[in-house]
Amino acid sequence: MIGMSGGVDSSVAAYLLKEQGYDVIGVTMKLWQDEDEEIMEREGGCCSLSAVEDARRVANKIGIPFYVMNFKEAFKNKVIDYFVDEYIKGRTPNPCIACNKHIKSGEFFEKAKQLECDYIATGHYAKIEHDEASDRYLLKKSITEAKDQTYALYNMSQHELEHTLFPLGYYTKDKIREIAAEVGLIVANKPDSQEICFVEDNDYAGYVKSHTNKKIKEGYFIDKEGNILGKHKGIIHYTIGQRKGLGIALGKPMFVVDILPKKNAVVLGDPEDVFSEGLIASDVNFIPFDDIDEPIRVQAKVRYSGKVAPATVYKEEKGKIRIVFDEKQRAITPGQSVVMYDNDIVVGGGIIEKRI
């Protein structure tokens, strides 16, 4: 059972699996929209009516059955509510990671089991390989670093890895578009979706405001010593490392270095104040092994678009880990994920609780 968003990646993934001899069922997941919302018709929206129609036409073209399945309730509970709650707490969540964990590797996986499918598949750029020495399944980077999506997949369990296929992990994006054009798929030149699928115009704060019954209160910008610098319009509008759009002039560039939800305060500092030596992470998942007892060396990154940096990982109490980087890292942000690598192998990841 393959998830089909109506985009070129999942469309070609379905085609490749069929060519490899799999019995493929195409499924578009109905995740978030209400029938009367204009947002659902936004170009690139993975749940829009046009996206469903594109997926249906691709399925017909390559000759596989196609269904639309409703996952709206689970998506609201596990992704949207989490996204809103995290912003209210002064954190910056990654909803794509929550979606992959709870919906694509969770609800979708369970539905595939009910239909007696042996595997689920998606159009992610990543590789899964079995390591005979350890008898474990490994998640590895795509051959194309620019499109690699393993950062969002670190939560996968051994069982999920064993029963998941990522056919695009061995291809470049250009090659995928070339294949789509060669076999006559209507989505060959469809642009990639860049935004979070349920947030219009990247207006995160506006979305949070409209989906919470909590009042978003104004508060104060303060410096590291606690001195008041001016008023802010609500902590949901800010994230660690932010410089633009603060709405305050202080005669020099100032950056968000901390958010204090209990005080409803946003701490501003100098450029060097945005850098940290390391972090504490929770909700940790390791892939090549179950846990660590001794410190290990990894390359880690603290945001999807970030670069990996050498670091040492230490085990902490209550299932947490501490990661100390060889060189200070910029804008380590609570709510985001840290993902650890051993060259092209994903060691695991967790949710950043605080920087140290």
Instruction: Tell me the catalytic residues.
Output: 99, 197
Contact 305, 122 (CB under 8 A): no
Q: Distance from first CA to last CA of the chain, Å, rounded? A: 43
Q: Is 58 annotated as a binding residue?
A: no
Q: Is 9 annotated as a binding residue?
A: yes
Token pair of 354 as six digits: 């605080």
Q: Is 210 annotated as a binding residue?
A: no
Q: Is 4 annotated as a binding residue?
A: yes
Characterize the bridge pairing of strands 26-30 and 2-3: parallel
H or E element: which one contains 25? none
Q: Identify the bridge partners of residue 267 per DSSP, sorted by sequence position.
A: 222, 258
Contact 349, 338 (CB under 8 A): yes
Amino acid at the residue 62:
I
Q: Is 29 annotated as a binding residue?
A: yes
Q: Is 8 annotated as a binding residue?
A: yes
- Got the DSSP string for 185-232? -TTTTPPPP-S-TTSGGG-HHHHHHHT-SS----EEEE-TT--EEEEE
Q: Is 348 annotated as a binding residue?
A: no
Annotated binding site for ATP: 3-10, 29, 123
Annotated binding site: 3-10, 29, 123
